Amino acid sequence: MKDLFDKIYKDKGPLGKWAEQAEGYFVFPKLEGPISNRMKFRGKEVITWSINDYLGLANHPEVRKVDAEAAAEYGSAYPMGARMMSGHTDLHERLQDELASFVNKQAAYLLNFGYQGMVSTIDALVSKQDVIVYDVDAHACIIDGVRLHLGQRFTYKHNDMESIEKNLQRATKIAEQTGGGILLISEGVFGMRGEQGKLKEIVELKKKYNFRLFVDDAHGFGTLGKTGAGAGEEQGVQDEIDVYFATFAKSLASTGAFIAGDKEIMDYLKYNLRSQMFAKSLQMQLVVGALKRLEMLRTMPELKEKLWENVNALQNGLKAKGFDIGTTQSCVTPVYLKGSIPEAMALVKDLRENHGVFCSIVVYPVIPKGLILLRMIPTATHTMQDIEETLEAFSAIRERLENGTYKRLSASVEAAMSNK
């Protein structure tokens, strides 16, 4: 019999094997200072394009004031206990009601964390007789939720309607045999590519197939739609989303999440979400803070307007300079370049050290081998100067990538890895 840890000693995983070269700089980096368009990285000021603070609320003085007052009044422990036992309050109910109204649903239910909440919601919605159909590019929290499912599950090609329909046909045959139902899961905005899920087209398929639609709108909530209610509102199909999910970790710049839908469905989930039934309630400081942030989202449309002014300036500037930003339809701004992982490391180090630009780097296995994705998140706090400096920096790094500078600089890293 093997030692359980043998596999760990022998194989650190596709990302873990780079830990010696990457940790503390490329992964697990430490940004310091107030959350804003410019922060400190290793003592140097950098333009930050990796903070999901879309509306600039994280360090807004009104938000900071309410957070501080709530902390002083309630501390960081209140309420103690799970919601069903001793952790429920009027303010939790008020926030749920206001969230439901904002996203045009009958009811909503608070979740302690987005990731944990998504996993638990999927688990509660399906039984082993049911079939799940989901996008192959779904976020890790969806994939982990699907992994818990004891029944059949199928992935469809990313945003591919033909593939979706083909898998709905497969799912229908199985569900008819098992006596179960079908749950189709899409994202409102896919966080790497920035593309919106094809919610309008998916909803049209309800005329032909019997399924329920669950949408993870983490990046759409607060940024898309006339009022900021998300991708469903943007595409005119919010009413057809059966279970709507969003997190506070993006536009609301906080911790927590919520699901929303018909009251009867929310009542069922309230009594069957294991991660909420057996975990401590969302602390009061976060509840009060979320109420303030939601109020600002509703009453200060200039925040979203400024966000989109910056998004359009950045994305149009990149396209004008010939960069490939894919087919993003959201604030998420991917820049695709060709190169190896060692080249990507050299490129990002140059970008941070010599140009003062900090953005996230995404490589294989998240994206195909040979590609480098620099993922940028514009916010309402960025300035036109930030954008101009960044565009100049990107032009410089592209030239060095294409002329082989990064390949030469990364040769030692590549050699070290090939010897392992």
Q: Span 353-373, mean pLDDT?
A: 88
Dist. CA 391–CA 11, nearest whole Å: 39
The predicted model scores a pTM of 0.93
pLDDT of residue 414: 59
> Ramachandran region of residue 13, left (φ > 0), alpha (ψ -120 to 50) or beta?
left
- Indicate if the pLDDT at residue 416 is higher than 60: no
Closest CA to 382 of 56, 85, 9, 40: 56
Q: Span 18-33, mean pLDDT?
A: 85
Mean pLDDT lowest among 7-11, 18-22, 313-317: 18-22
Q: Span 9-33, mean pLDDT?
A: 83
Average pLDDT score, the chain: 94
Return the exposure string of 104-133: e unless at least 16 CB atoms fall within 10 Å of the residue's CB, then b.
Answer: bbebbbbbbbbbbbbbbbbbbbbeeebbbb
C-beta separation of 36 from 48 below 8 A:
yes
The first and second tokens of residue 144, run together, are: 């982990």
Coil, helix or strand for 295?
Answer: helix
Q: Span 227-246, mean pLDDT?
A: 97
pLDDT of residue 418: 53
pLDDT of residue 413: 58
C-beta separation of 347 from 397 below 8 A:
yes
Note the pLDDT tens digit of each residue in 154-173. 999 999 999 999 999 999 99
Q: Span 255-271, mean pLDDT?
A: 97
C-alpha distances out from residue 283 to 88, 252, 259, Å: 10, 16, 18
The first and second tokens of residue 180, run together, are: 């179960």
C-alpha distances out from residue 7 to 147, 305, 418, Å: 21, 51, 19
Q: In this structure, what DSSP letter does residue 240 have?
A: G
pLDDT band at 238 (very low <50, low <70, confident <90, very high): very high
Q: State the DSSP string of 80-105.
A: PS-TTTT---HHHHHHHHHHHHHTT-
End-to-end CA distance of the chain: 26
Pairing mode, strands 257-261 and 360-362: unpaired
Mean pLDDT lowest among 13-22, 175-184, 252-261: 13-22
- Indicate if the pLDDT at residue 14 is higher than 80: no
- Indicate if the pLDDT at residue 390 is higher than 80: yes
Q: Span 386-397, mean pLDDT?
A: 97
- Indicate if the pLDDT at residue 37 is higher than 80: yes
Q: In this structure, what DSSP letter does residue 282 have?
A: P
- Indicate if the pLDDT at residue 331 is higher than 60: yes
- Indicate if the pLDDT at residue 420 is higher than 70: no
Q: State the DSSP string of 351-378.
A: HHHHH-EE-EEE-TTTS-TTEEEEEE--
C-beta separation of 65 from 261 below 8 A:
no
Q: Span 269-280, mean pLDDT?
A: 91
Q: State the DSSP string of 214-239.
A: EEE-TTTTTTSSSSS--HHHHHT-GG
Dihedral sign for Cα atoms in the order 28, 249, 80, 109: negative
Closest CA to 248 of 260, 256, 238: 256
Backbone angles phi, psi at 260, to 5 degrees: -145, 150
Q: Span 59-74, mean pLDDT?
A: 96
pLDDT of residue 70: 96
Q: What is the dihedral of CA 166, 202, 95, 121, to 10 degrees?
A: 0
pLDDT of residue 411: 76
pLDDT of residue 100: 98
The first and second tokens of residue 153, run together, are: 């599950």
**Which of the given ranges, 6-15, 111-120, 312-321, has the highest pLDDT on average?**
312-321
The alpha carbon of residue 356 and the mean position of all alpha carbons in its chain are separated, in whole angstroms, by 25
Enumerate residues 6+ apart whose C-beta is below 8 A from 293.
Answer: 57, 63, 248, 252, 253, 254
